[in-house]
């Protein structure tokens, strides 16, 4: 205090500290702990106790971080009959401008309808990294609205077809079109299976190449290029729903989870071996910091 008073007496104003950018505020240790907590909830298919606990955690973290939370609720017709679906949307940095651009970071929080499947990587890591994005965005101003979207019922009930799977994202994407919001969405990054210890992110071939270039540039700047875009495959995932309504989208997905080929996405994919011992704090750090830096770069050009 005395030092500050002395500076004022001398006519020198103290310089406010430079805010830490979100990509440096990203806490990989906390992200790992979120993943572990969510995994401990067990099966998280819609209607399960674990699903409800995950929803409560998302609400708690978003509100604590100063975000606003909305939900997109509907009932899906599935091979299991009618299933209630809840897409959760955490919104940060909303202004009064009705034309303010939006950037969406998304990931699914449900798991398979499969006994014993806890989805530490597939469902757990995507849920957790969005929670850590909320923490990193706390108190940070951006020109774009940042939406954190936890999609529900991403998993197919039987197997992925035009009528089975991606229920939540399809509904939300069409809702954005109907409400006239879709043209404001500058981009959509989907996070899926990004906690894999052996991180190797796909240059997913249906994704927007120009948006992938922002991720590649961010990875290069941070020294993480070795983890991104060294192979390219097409993946059926929530980004499809947004691509299909004209929203530029990228699936940030590690499509090699365990020994290949397995079911085509690795030996651990959609098996009860998808447990916390397969998840890496370092992988969460690499993806979290890279994606946030890419968004910061896009925001600076808005």
Sign for the CA dihedral angle at 88, 90, 94, 99 comes to negative
Distance CA 279, CA 174 (A): 33
Task: Flag whether 11 is in a domain.
Answer: no
Mean residue pLDDT across the chain: 95
Sheet order of strands, 102-108 included: 68-78, 81-92, 145-151, 102-108, 185-192, 249-253
- What's the burial of 75, exposed, middle or buried (CB within 10 Å: 0-12/13-18/19+)? exposed
Q: Is the pLDDT at 257 greater than 60, yes or no?
A: yes
Examine residue 33 and state whether it is found in any structural domain, yes or no: yes
The residue whose two tokens read 């989805």 is 119
Does 76 or 10 have the greater pLDDT score? Answer: 76
What is the reported pLDDT for 11? Answer: 58
Residue 10 falls inside a structural domain: no
CATH number for the domain including 232? 3.40.630.10
Both tokens of residue 95? 């202004």
Residue 7 lies in a domain: no
The pLDDT confidence band at residue 302, using thresholds 50, 70 and 90, is confident
**Above 60 in pLDDT, residue 197?**
yes
Res 8: pLDDT: 52
Report if residue 1 sits inside a domain: no
Question: What Cα–Cα distance (Å) separates residue 4 from each residue in 10, 18, 21, 95?
Answer: 10, 18, 26, 34
Q: Is the pLDDT of residue 9 over 60?
A: no
Q: Directed axis angle between helix 281-300 and helix 209-222, to 10°?
A: 120
Q: What domain range is 296 assigned to?
A: 20-300
pLDDT at 16: 57
Mean per-residue pLDDT, 18-42 = 96
Residue 14 within a domain: no
pTM above 0.85, yes or no: yes
pLDDT score, position 19: 79
Query: Per residue in 135-146, pLDDT tens?
Result: 999 999 999 999
pLDDT at residue number 268: 98
The alpha carbon dihedral of 226, 192, 273, 57 has a sign of positive
Give the residue-averaged pLDDT of 43-62.
98
DSSP type of residue 212: H
The confidence score (pLDDT) of residue 15 equals 56
Position 2 in a domain: no
pLDDT tens for each residue of 115-131: 999 999 999 999 999 99
Within-domain flag for 200:
yes
Q: How many domains is the chain built from?
A: 1
Q: What is the pLDDT of residues 64-117, one digit of tens each?
A: 999 999 999 999 999 999 999 999 999 999 998 999 999 999 999 999 999 999
Per-residue model confidence (pLDDT) at position 243 = 98
Distances (CA, A) of 248 to 16, 222, 239: 37, 24, 9
């Amino acid at each position: 205090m005395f030092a500050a008073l002395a500076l004022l007496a001398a006519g020198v104003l103290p310089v406010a500290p430079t805010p830490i950018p979100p990509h440096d505020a990203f806490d990989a240790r906390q992200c790992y702990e979120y993943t572990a907590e969510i995994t401990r909830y067990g099966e998280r298919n819609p209607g399960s106790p674990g699903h409800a606990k995950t929803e409560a955690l998302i609400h708690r973290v978003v509100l604590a971080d100063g975000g606003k939370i909305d939900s997109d609720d509907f009932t899906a017709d599935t091979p299991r009959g009618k299933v209630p679906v809840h897409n959760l949307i955490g919104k940060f940095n909303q202004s009064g401008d009705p034309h303010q651009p939006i950037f969406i970071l998304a990931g699914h929080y449900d798991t398979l309808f499969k006994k014993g499947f806890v989805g530490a990587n597939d469902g757990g890591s995507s849920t957790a990294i969005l929670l850590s994005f909320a923490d990193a965005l706390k108190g940070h101003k951006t020109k774009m609205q940042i939406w954190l979207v936890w999609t529900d019922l991403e998993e197919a009930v039987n197997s992925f077809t035009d009528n089975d799977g991606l229920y939540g994202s399809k509904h939300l994407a069409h809702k954005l079109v109907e409400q006239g919001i879709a043209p404001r969405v500058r981009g959509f990054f989907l996070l899926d299976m990004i906690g894999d210890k052996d991180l190797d992110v796909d240059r997913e071939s249906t994704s927007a190449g120009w948006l992938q270039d922002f991720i590649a540039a961010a990875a290069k700047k941070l020294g993480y290029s070795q983890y991104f875009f060294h192979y390219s495959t097409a993946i059926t995932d929530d980004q499809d729903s947004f691509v299909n309504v004209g929203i530029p989208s990228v699936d940030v997905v590690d499509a090699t989870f365990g020994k290949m080929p397995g079911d085509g996405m690795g030996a651990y994919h959609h098996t009860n071996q998808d447990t916390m011992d397969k998840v890496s704090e370092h992988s969460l750090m690499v993806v979290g910091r890279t994606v946030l830096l890419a968004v910061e770069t896009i925001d600076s050009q808005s």
